Amino acid sequence: MARFLKKRDASKGQSPGSLIFIGTQKTDDVSVRMIDYDAIRLTDKELSDIKDGSHFKSTNTVTWININGLHDTQKIQEVGQAFDLHPLVMEDILNTGQRPKLEEFDTCVYIVLKMIRLDEKTNMIHNEQLSIILGDKFLLTFQEQPGDVFEPVRERIRRPKSRIRGSGADYLAYALLDTVVDNYMHTIELIGEKIEDLEEDILEGHDTAVMEKINGFKREINYLRKSIRPARDAILNMSRLDSDLFHENTLPFIKDLQDLTHQATEAIDTYRDLLTDQLNIYNSVMANKMNDIMKVLTIFAAIFIPLTFIAGIYGTNFEYLPELHYRYSYFIFWAVLIALAGILLFYFKRKRWL
């Protein structure tokens, strides 16, 4: 399956807003977890029915409902109906090949990002789509599979005196986005260390798989770039929103998050350029090694050309060749060859060709 684009065969010819899952099923069951809190109270539980949590959207507490698994379109539809989500939003949630973006609606803000991780054994980047819907007092998150980078955020929610407990759903959305972007930086650091370690192998020129490694890292960096650059644009648009859903106290944090995404994209561009430079260096090293080999072979050829010329003359079949019947001709012949080879080697050495 193509990594950069998802197959959309199932959605061909369908009307806009049709609920069709596009992607790979990554979990057997769809699970729903709700965390409802304010400065004093906290409720954290699994929901068997999304309707059990829909009434929290009108309370004064902050309600975070996380849905793991997108393949069950019926359950996703129930979520949309319970929270009055736009059909196009529901369609985008089920399309796991969605480009990171931000869209503003009358009653909510819809954000799509990619959560990424590096498989250090294969050096491949894997991503998972994260959809966030921010309402006035609620936050919905949709993930492809259980397990994420949000456990530190849950730990902060469990602490009664933390900033997040005294803030609204907009600050919770920021906290989740900040965790995702921090993971971007961590992943870039991991793959960056591997890219920088290539330089020693390139200069030594012993590793025949260096070219394959460089091309592999270029592919993964482009894959990272596809996920992170549009995420930067989405967060930039978020900082410019004129929406009541974002309180004034949260905007400085979002601008700080914007700076972090800029840093992430700059790091990606830096490593992308570094890989291009490493590829050029590798080609130069290989060319220099080939030149050294050709230089040695050329010098040997230059030495053997006059020796071959002499041997060719005295190897002819003429009967009356001078010195042919002289008693010491064979030894003189060898002495001339060795002396001539020695003189040529000495000459090449003085010219620093050797």
The per-residue DSSP string of 173-202 comes to HHHHHHHHHHHHHHHHHHHHHHHHHHHHHH
pLDDT computed for residue 258 by the predictor:
92
Distance CA 301, CA 304 (A): 5
Three-class SS of residue 144?
coil
* 326 pLDDT more than 60: yes
The per-residue pLDDT for range 293-316, each reduced to its tens digit, is 888 888 888 888 888 888 888 777
pLDDT computed for residue 11 by the predictor:
57
The per-residue pLDDT for range 99-146, each reduced to its tens digit, is 899 999 888 899 999 999 998 888 899 889 999 999 888 999 999 888
pLDDT computed for residue 232 by the predictor:
93
Alpha helical stretches, state H, the chain: 51-54, 73-82, 87-94, 151-158, 169-204, 210-239, 251-314, 329-350
Read off the pLDDT band of 178 (50, 70, 90): very high
pLDDT computed for residue 66 by the predictor:
93
List of residues 6+ apart from 272 with CB closer than 8 A: 218, 221, 222, 225
List of residues 6+ apart from 75 with CB closer than 8 A: 30, 32, 50, 67
Q: What is the DSSP letter of 38?
A: -
The per-residue pLDDT for range 237-276, each reduced to its tens digit, is 998 888 888 888 898 999 999 999 999 999 999 999 999 9
pLDDT computed for residue 221 by the predictor:
94
Total Cβ atoms within 10 A of residue 288: 11
pLDDT computed for residue 5 by the predictor:
64
Task: Compute the mean pLDDT over every residue in the chain, rounded to the nearest whole number.
Answer: 86
The per-residue pLDDT for range 50-81, each reduced to its tens digit, is 777 777 777 789 999 999 988 888 888 888 88
List of residues 6+ apart from 231 with CB closer than 8 A: 100, 113, 114, 180, 181, 184, 261
Counting residues of the chain whose pLDDT is more than 70, the rounded percentage is 94
Mean pLDDT of 13-27: 75
pTM score, whole prediction: 0.80
Q: How far is CA 237 from CA 109, 118, 146, 198, in A?
A: 11, 28, 29, 37
Q: Mind listing the domains of the chain with CATH numbers?
A: 11-285 (3.30.460.20), 295-350 (1.20.58.340)
Distance CA 127, CA 158 (A): 28
* 147 pLDDT more than 70: yes
The per-residue DSSP string of 204-215 comes to H---TTHHHHHH
Q: 233-262 burial by CB neighbour count: b if 16+ within 10 A, else e?
A: ebbbbbeeeeeebbeeebbebbeebbebbe
Distance CA 297, CA 134 (A): 71
* 333 pLDDT more than 70: yes
Distance CA 121, CA 108 (A): 41
